[in-house]
Amino acid sequence: MKKIVNPDRAEWAEILKRPTQSVADIEETVNQIFDEIRSKGNLAISKYTELFDGIKLDELKVSDTEIREASTSISEELKEAIDLAKKNIEKFHAAQKTEKFKVETMPGVECWQEKKPIQKVGLYIPGGTAPLFSSILMLAIPANLAGCKEIVLCSPPDKNGNINPAILYTAKLCGVTKIFKVGGIQAIGAMTFGTEDIPQVYKIFGPGNQFVTVAKQLATKYQVAIDMPAGPSELLVYADDSANPAFVASDLLSQAEHGKDSQVILVTTSEAMAVKVSEEIEEQLEQLPRKAIAEKAIENSRLIVVREEKEALELINEYGPEHFIVCSKNEGYFVENVENAGSVFIGNYAPESAGDYASGTNHTLPTNGYAKQYSGVNLDSFMKTISFQKISKSGIQKIGPAIELLAQAEGLQAHKNAVSLRLKEED
């Protein structure tokens, strides 16, 4: 990791730059695949699955037999771990439920809001080098709690045309209604437009590489919502001398092993801590099966030493990390004043891995600086709010004259007439 000591504020933008390709580099590919899916449906899906995943499939939909077989191939220990995580995630997200509220804004004018589930949602679950079945827990559980009727899951097949059994087991456990062997851009396109087999959905959720991220963003041009423009994983740790350097290094590496385009950053006021963490990273890196991936991510990463905590916090808020770990004797200062972060982990014993799997919070979070304006996935992500109003005859008499004046001032005569007719009838 590149070490930077006391950088000037003018250098922050360059230091904190993410290692991502521009959207323009990827957009042309996405548009080409989208166009083919719209015109050719399953035929285009099969073409790109063979091209990108190296497998020609006769059937895109996962069968009930495959799901049953997956269940028998999962160890009881793993099933118990999945169950523990499921219970914690359900508990945290169930607590987010809110009741409808009603208010009489003035006599005779009642207004209220109710939340309704999004009827059809699509979940994208990466496979490849890391089959992220934990993302199913994070997405299907709140989708079910919200009451979504159709939960469609797409995940890329392996070279034998199979989906990881842990993905299938977890999907069935969490109430996914349909599972398809489709990955990458073509999965997002299939859920955006629908094909002969794969349903069109109203909103797409889930992490992915830069190609999936751009595909999701372009899907919004076709009246499909997305959870957020999330991309490669990232983690920022603030650690002072009260932190355990071995723990800090393990956290940085846990995120670095996600992918070559991941980024991890250590911010500290202690140069000695930066040195210790760097040494720990070198030592722990040698033990990782995904060493080559983590090493590449480390090349994009930084150890940043600053003069004081205030400067550290300003830099952290400027970066807006997906994951933010605070290991400081003054942790309250950072917890109370952080403004831009997807999820915050506090203390030496709160690894980012806990949020990834089993503490209960959601791990589908904004990356690439989008934590400045986006929230992570939560129960409300799977719902929309509808407002209602009921106005009595006496109510329209009270607010009618004001509406007439407001509409006339905007030059909207028909708006005024809609009220005037009712007031005249009352007279």
pLDDT tens digits, 340-395: 999 999 999 999 999 999 999 999 999 989 999 999 999 999 999 999 999 999 99
Alpha-carbon distance 231 to 119, whole Å?
26
Nearest by Cα to 248 from 275, 223, 230: 275
* Domain shared by 195 and 271, yes or no: no
Of 230, 250, 277, which residue constitutes the final position of a domain?
A: 230
pLDDT for 22: 62
DSSP 358: T
pLDDT surpassing 90 at residue 279: yes
Our answer to whether residue 311 is catalytic in this structure is no
Nearest by Cα to 145 from 72, 220, 87, 62: 87
* Domain shared by 64 and 131, yes or no: yes
pLDDT surpassing 90 at residue 259: no
pLDDT for 4: 95
Angle, CA 135 vertex, CA 133 and CA 136 arms, to 5°: 70
Give the pair of three-digit tokens for residue 423: 């007031």
Q: Confidence class of residue 425 from pLDDT cuts 50, 70 and 90?
A: confident
* Domain shared by 153 and 246, yes or no: no
For 34, other C-beta atoms within 10 Å of its C-beta total 23
User: Tens digits of per-residue pLDDT, 119-159?
Assistant: 999 999 998 667 889 999 999 999 999 999 999 999 999 99
Alpha-carbon distance 224 to 171, whole Å?
23
Higher pLDDT, 426 or 89: 89
Alpha-carbon distance 262 to 250, whole Å?
15
Give the pair of three-digit tokens for residue 40: 């050719």
Residue type, 148: C
pLDDT for 96: 98
pLDDT for 427: 52
Q: Does 383 fall in a domain?
A: no
User: Tens digits of per-residue pLDDT, 34-78?
Assistant: 999 999 999 999 999 999 999 999 999 999 999 999 999 999 999
pLDDT for 241: 96
Alpha-carbon distance 278 to 266, whole Å?
10
pLDDT for 39: 97
Of 360, 382, 404, which residue constitutes the final position of a domain?
A: 360
* Domain shared by 158 and 257, yes or no: no
pLDDT for 426: 54
Domain CATH number, residue 40 = 3.40.50.1980
Our answer to whether residue 93 is catalytic in this structure is no
Alpha-carbon distance 138 to 206, whole Å?
9
* Domain shared by 344 and 284, yes or no: yes
pLDDT for 24: 76
pLDDT surpassing 80 at residue 223: yes
For 99, other C-beta atoms within 10 Å of its C-beta total 7
* Domain shared by 138 and 29, yes or no: yes
The Cα-based distances of 395 to 7, 107, 110, 426 in angstroms read: 62, 6, 9, 12
* Domain shared by 333 and 238, yes or no: yes
User: Tens digits of per-residue pLDDT, 290-335?
Assistant: 999 999 999 989 999 999 999 999 999 999 999 999 999 999 999 9
pLDDT for 359: 98
Nearest by Cα to 3 from 301, 237, 245: 301
Alpha-carbon distance 131 to 123, whole Å?
14
Q: Does 252 fall in a domain?
A: yes
Q: Does 71 fall in a domain?
A: yes
* Domain shared by 65 and 208, yes or no: yes
Q: Does 388 fall in a domain?
A: no
Q: Does 197 fall in a domain?
A: yes
The active-site residue, picked from 323, 336, 352, 404, is 323
* Domain shared by 211 and 317, yes or no: no
Name residue, tokens 């069968």. Answer: 63
* Domain shared by 127 and 272, yes or no: no
pLDDT surpassing 60 at residue 7: yes
Q: Which domain holds residue 255?
A: 2-16+232-360
Of 192, 213, 230, which residue constitutes the final position of a domain?
A: 230
The active-site residue, picked from 257, 322, 352, 363, is 322
Q: Does 376 fall in a domain?
A: no
> Number of structural domains, the chain?
3
* Domain shared by 128 and 112, yes or no: yes
* DSSP symbols for 55-112: ---S--BPPHHHHHHHHHHS-HHHHHHHHHHHHHHHHHHHTT----EEEEEETTEEEE
Q: Does 375 fall in a domain?
A: no
* Domain shared by 189 and 238, yes or no: no
User: Tens digits of per-residue pLDDT, 164-212?
Assistant: 999 999 999 999 999 999 999 999 999 999 999 999 999 999 988 889 9
Higher pLDDT, 319 or 427: 319
Q: Can you give the pTM of this predicted structure?
A: 0.93
The Cα-based distances of 20 to 88, 124, 241, 315, 394 in angstroms read: 33, 20, 32, 20, 59
Helix (H) or strand (E) holding 227: none
Q: Does 407 fall in a domain?
A: yes
Positions at the binding site for substrate:
233, 255, 258, 323, 356, 410, 415
User: Tens digits of per-residue pLDDT, 8-36?
Assistant: 999 999 999 988 656 777 899 999 999 99
pLDDT for 21: 59
